[in-house]
């Protein structure tokens, strides 16, 4: 394997330069003003896949953003790994909170700061470079396919159709994704599950127009106050979600499973200090690891209404709104939870207002097996490159494609993430440690090596 390390060492600067070039495309999927940048990012990846030696590289159109495909089939009798990643990123706002511009990657303290540095351009691009390394050192031990999409951050709405229409093309033995986090370089871990998601927008409407708050205030219900009360009622005094039926389908873990989960290193004081909070909050009866891994939750993502401009305006707003999401755990279904929320929110609306609930996207939760050949290959790869076996963990985020791959293609996934929870995903000053980037590029060929040999 030393020739692999030598090749990486000799090409380090170029591997960084290419990632920086990719990070300069503001490929924000949520905002149509970036459509061209999204397309340019897709073309860039296609070009780099080709340059690395992939065959049949295509930028496949969808009703939304294109999917980049490429493959290297060395021997039809050998196993095939399908690498999934995404080149779209979250909006960079609020811009004023970034220390350096989000689409001008900047290195500080050994870390690359840019939107998408970790989620997921940096992690996805490790696979493109690992593939180049394997090609150049003639060490690719199995077939490999790439499917890099551009709508993950907006719910992968066009992916379903693409996957169902391209079953042959995507046929593989396992899916490999680097779009999650590990505990640290000293404590490597592998995520063995992801939460699902149900995302809605609510609107509370009162009077037929904005009113003078002195002339009408006190006589007409204020939609902002009503919305705040309704939202506050969604958790009880123990911070359980109050929606009837919300927990009905939740798969409870055994005491042994919970114990194992809580073995992962976690320092509550460090956690609080990093976030700048004096106390943690959460569902009574569960640890922080459990609250963010195996329990469903409800969060307000945004809330607005009335006057929010400079200075003061005395107004009783006609309406108020919020974006609300729920994270789901195995056995819960996104469509069922969306329905339960909708019914409950309509039920608790007082007569003074009308409410409108509009579902956005969703995604199903997933668990990945830890007794599979692919998981063992990931364990061995990490042990070999980090000198320490990975700790299995549950991830709190969502990657809806994982459940979709299983449903449509019967494929299991390995989540071999190299990010850190503190990488500021979706936040200002997103970063990715250069050390993690190269550790990933070094570990991925080891995964392929072990997967190929364990599959024999």
Which residues from 346-385 bind Mn ion, rule CB under 5 A?
none
The window from 53-61, 212-220, 266-274, 396-404 that contacts ligand BES (CB under 6 A) reads: 396-404
Positions marked active-site: 88, 152
Q: Which of 37, 71, 151, 153 binds ligand BES (CB under 6 A)?
A: 153
Burial class for 362, CB neighbours closer than 10 Å (0-12, 13-18, 19+): buried
Which CB, 152 or 430, lies closer to ligand BES? Answer: 152
Contact stretch for ligand BES (CB under 6 A) within 148-156, 299-307, 368-376, 440-448: 148-156
Pairwise CA distance, residues 124 & 330, whole Å = 26
Residue placing its CB nearer to ligand BES in the complex, 71 or 430: 430
Shortest distance (Å) from residue 120 CB to ligand BES? 6
Cis-peptide, bond into residue 254, ω within 30° of zero: no
Q: Measuring CA to CA, how many Å separate 5 from each of 1, 14, 54, 139? A: 7, 15, 21, 12
Instruction: Give the whole-angstrom CA distance, residue 49 versus residue 190.
Output: 26
The piece of 33-41, 50-58, 136-144, 391-399 that touches ligand BES (CB under 6 A) is: 391-399
User: CA angle at residue 280 from 277 to 283, to 5 degrees?
Assistant: 155
Cβ–Cβ under 8 Å, residues 97 and 190: no
Options 40-48, 152-160, 287-295, 316-324: segment touching ligand BES (CB under 6 A): 152-160
Q: Which is nearer to ligand BES, 154 or 318 (CB)?
A: 154
Listed ranges 174-182, 253-261, 401-409, 437-445: which one lies at the site for ligand BES (CB under 6 A): 174-182
Nearest to 25 by CA among 100, 98, 116, 93: 116
Kindly state the smallest distance separating residue 194's Cβ from ligand BES, in Å. 6
- Nearer to ligand BES among residue 62 and residue 213 (C-beta): 62
E strand segments, 128-213: 143-149, 174-177, 189-191, 193-194, 196-205, 211-212
In this structure, are strands 143-149 and 80-86 parallel, antiparallel, or unpaired? Answer: parallel
Please, are residues 200 and 359 in contact by the beta-carbon 8 Å criterion? yes
Among 158, 178, 180, 443, binds ligand BES (CB under 6 A): 180
List the one residue from 119, 423, 430, 442 that touches Mn ion (CB under 5 A): 119
- The CA–CA distances, whole Å, from 286 to 258, 289, 291, 394 equal 10, 8, 6, 14
Spatial distance between the Cα atoms of 50 and 402, rounded to a whole number of angstroms: 26
> Pattern 92-131, binding to ligand BES, x per CB under 6 A?
---------------------------xx-----------
Residue with the shortest CB distance to ligand BES: 397
Reading the block at residue 299, the tokens are: 């969060």
Structure tokens at 214: 């002195």
Rank residues 48 and 115 by Cβ distance to Mn ion and give the closer one. 115
CA 163 to chain centre: 19
Q: What share of the chain is helix, strand, coil (3-state, %, to 5)?
A: 35, 25, 40
Among 70, 141, 155, 317, binds ligand BES (CB under 6 A): 155
How many CA atoms are closer than 13 Å to the CA of 212, on its beta-carbon side? 2
Gap between the Cα atoms of 181 and 393, Å rounded: 10
By CB under 6 A, residue 440 contacts ligand BES: no
In the shown chain, the binding pattern of residues 160 to 199 toward Mn ion, with x for contact by CB under 5 A and - for none, equals -------------------x--------------------
Which residues are near ligand BES by CB under 6 A? 119-120, 152-153, 155, 179-181, 194, 197, 361, 363, 395, 397-400, 425
**Sites of contact with Mn ion (CB under 5 A):** 119-120, 179
């Amino acid at each position: 394997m030393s020739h692999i390390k030598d090749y990486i060492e000799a090409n380090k600067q170029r591997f960084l330069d290419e990632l920086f070039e990719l990070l300069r495309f503001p490929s924000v999927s949520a905002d149509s003003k970036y459509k061209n940048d999204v397309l340019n990012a897709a073309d860039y990846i296609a070009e780099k896949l080709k340059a690395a030696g992939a065959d049949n590289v295509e930028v496949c159109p969808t009703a939304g953003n294109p999917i980049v495909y490429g493959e290297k089939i060395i021997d039809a009798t050998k196993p095939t790994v399908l690498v999934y990643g995404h080149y779209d990123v979250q909006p960079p706002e609020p811009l004023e909170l970034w220390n350096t511009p989000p689409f001008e990657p900047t290195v500080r303290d050994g870390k690359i700061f840019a939107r998408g540095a970790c989620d997921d351009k940096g992690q996805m691009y490790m696979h493109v470079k690992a593939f180049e390394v394997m090609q150049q050192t003639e060490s690719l031990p199995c077939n490999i396919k790439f499917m890099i999409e551009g709508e993950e951050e907006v719910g992968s709405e066009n992916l379903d159709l693409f996957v169902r229409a391209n079953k042959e093309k995507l046929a593989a033995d396992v899916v490999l994704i680097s779009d999650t986090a590990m505990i640290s370089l000293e404590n490597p871990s592998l995520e063995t599950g992801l939460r699902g998601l149900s995302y809605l927008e609510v609107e509370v409407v009162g009077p037929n127009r904005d009113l003078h708050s002195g002339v009408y205030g006190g006589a007409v219900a204020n939609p902002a106050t009503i919305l705040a009360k309704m939202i506050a009622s969604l958790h009880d005094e123990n911070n359980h979600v109050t929606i009837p039926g919300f927990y009905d389908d939740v798969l409870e873990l055994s005491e042994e499973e919970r114990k194992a989960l809580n073995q992962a290193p976690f320092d509550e004081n460090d956690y609080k200090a990093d976030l700048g909070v004096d106390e943690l909050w959460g569902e009574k009866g569960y640890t922080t690891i459990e609250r963010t891994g195996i329990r469903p939750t409800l969060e307000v993502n945004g809330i607005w209404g009335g006057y929010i401009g400079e200075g003061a305006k005395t107004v009783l707003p006609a309406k108020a709104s919020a974006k609300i999401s729920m994270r789901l755990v195995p056995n819960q279904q996104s469509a069922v939870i969306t329905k339960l929320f909708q019914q409950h929110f309509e039920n608790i609306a007082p007569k003074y207002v009308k409410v409108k609930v509009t579902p956005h996207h969703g995604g199903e939760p997933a668990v990945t097996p830890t007794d599979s050949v692919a998981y063992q290959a990931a364990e061995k790869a990490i042990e070999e490159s980090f000198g320490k076996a990975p700790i299995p963990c549950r991830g709190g985020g969502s990657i809806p494609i994982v459940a979709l791959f299983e449903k449509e293609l019967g494929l299991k996934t390995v989540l071999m993430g190299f990010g850190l929870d503190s990488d500021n995903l979706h936040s200002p000053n997103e970063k990715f440690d250069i050390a993690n980037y190269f550790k990933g590029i070094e570990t991925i060929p080891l995964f392929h090596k072990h997967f190929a040999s364990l599959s024999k």
